[in-house]
Amino acid sequence: MNICLYGSGSRKIDEIYTSQAYELGCEMARRGHTLVFGGGDTGMMGACARGVHDNNGKSLGIAPEWIGDFEPLCKECSEFIYVDTMDERKAEFVKNSDAFIISPGGIGTLDEFFEIITLKKLKQHDKEIIIFNIDHFFDKMLEMIDEMGEKGFLYKQEDIFKTANTLEEVFKKLG
């Protein structure tokens, strides 16, 4: 299975997050899954990619070449697709992935998450989406989404994405 990871590329992330991202990559490789990601060599992306590569797994990085001006790109990828824009990057994620894992991140990660759940809601794909809620990182966002539903701003959401608080839950919910 090709599993797309959305997550931060920041160098300032606490080890509680990056160690879990590394273990996620290790487990993906052990299970024979391919990591599809934004190609970054730091943060959640880099940690997961190192876990994959340290266990002889495969990875597909997807990024515009100019993103290297903002963060270093992973040189160990099995394959790399260069695109011109961030929109093309997100389209390639959908095209090349069978499932999505949302790990802690910033605005870019939230952009990717909300786009992928919107596309699923609009029946543009039917791929599994798992929020990897490491150390309860997404609790407030999940509360906000629940409140939006309670107040009538969202339609029923339970089939759009699943939440996992542990690595074991991530793979159990991926099926």
Which range of residues forms the domain containing residue 50? Answer: 2-174
Q: What is the mean pLDDT of residues 144-148?
A: 91
Q: Which strand (E) or helix (H) includes residue 37?
A: strand 34-37
| Cα separations in angstroms, 108 against 29, 53, 86, 113, 151 | 25, 24, 10, 9, 27
User: How confident is the model at residue 159, as a pLDDT?
Assistant: 79
Domain at 107, CATH number = 3.40.50.450
Number of domains in the chain: 1
pLDDT band, residue 155 (cuts 50/70/90): confident
